[in-house]
Structure 1
């Protein structure tokens, strides 16, 4: 089975169109169709159906998709393994949005100077989403909120920044502003909610979301106040707000990596760009 044909089939399923998959892979729609037809002939099943303008997987295709995706991950992993001892190739880093703003410029600067053949691929998302992608080895490392559970021994979490919790208000606050709540289901949001409950027994809530920059913008626009962690770029990007720490509570953001990768040259550069001590392996 040709793995390139599998990649084309998965692309069609993801975008729902032969033409869109062809553009994504720099091929013609006819070439994509031929690849799918070759897979169907090899497996002796139909893999795609047309529903109106969309192309959708058949039940047989849906049953095989987990295996097809696993094949593609294995291929990507093999390429990454070959690059481990060399400073070249793509490095896939998942990161929460505030970490991208705080740390991406420094990482890009270090890699551009020390490893120009390494392409940094930044993939945003929530901490839980990124963790699951890292766990399935779709990412090489991650910048996320400290997980609220014990990690497997194969993983390492190194704290990059300890962000104090505090009350974010407009510079010209109105009377009795409601609270914009940092999502309680988010890894960093539960601590903020607990701190808010200590401040007010029955806070008046305007809305709730796992989107810190949007919350800060809404606070700056005078729509409400919020109890948030103070990331490095908070007041730089939202100067129309004021931050008042409330107690010793904090949100830890750090680097999640595989213990087996600790000696990879690119990981050493990553730690350098994040200001982490060299040669130290956390427990």
Structure 2
């Protein structure tokens, strides 16, 4: 027998609730079902994961390590479920599925729906644009689950084509109360006292904004943020951290209680917006988009082409 997601859910619920009965209530099953599932999991792992007592349960040392990893697994599994539920049935002749590589932002899903409707009406096909992290998007592309990936920054791989459809100005994101938030523009030297966040999810797979400014003399300390949110160095103070972003002033701020300040024109770069597709595997719907892609995206007034 191999472990399954149900057993993992039972263990996580038991650790977080402190008892099998609490886990049973959360999972809407009997205590016996939870106990049996966790016992099967312990047999699979080969060691006890919980210490069972009169006042509840707590993880063993190995159980704590297993729980830490199981929690991340459940979060990833939930993201996968959410993504699959949003993917419509595909018809390559008249339906185009595109992922946009960006962190979720304020009003993002609504903006993608409006953009999908605008482009679909222009091209006479059904278009669905979903906000999905970069690495997940590329896996979906290579498994033929999506037609194309739209990303901020260039991407290069032997099995893909990458075309630029325009560019966007860049800025620095921060909390609304950050010492730099009141400035009209910022220079790279202004960032030196503050950690700059580099995200494993959004900066590691292509030539991101952070990557380019690092090559251009950025001296501020870089804090790497793992996919689970863990910073390196792990004692980094992120209370005044900043991050690089596109700058879309007419469209407000991407996150609540935040601000993106444009970079001084003397140092600013424009970042290309790119479409990535598999070589020799472009759907009919994507080819229809590619024939008019720059004109279509001018309609959004988002890009400087």
TM-score by length of 2: 0.45
TM-score by length of 1: 0.48
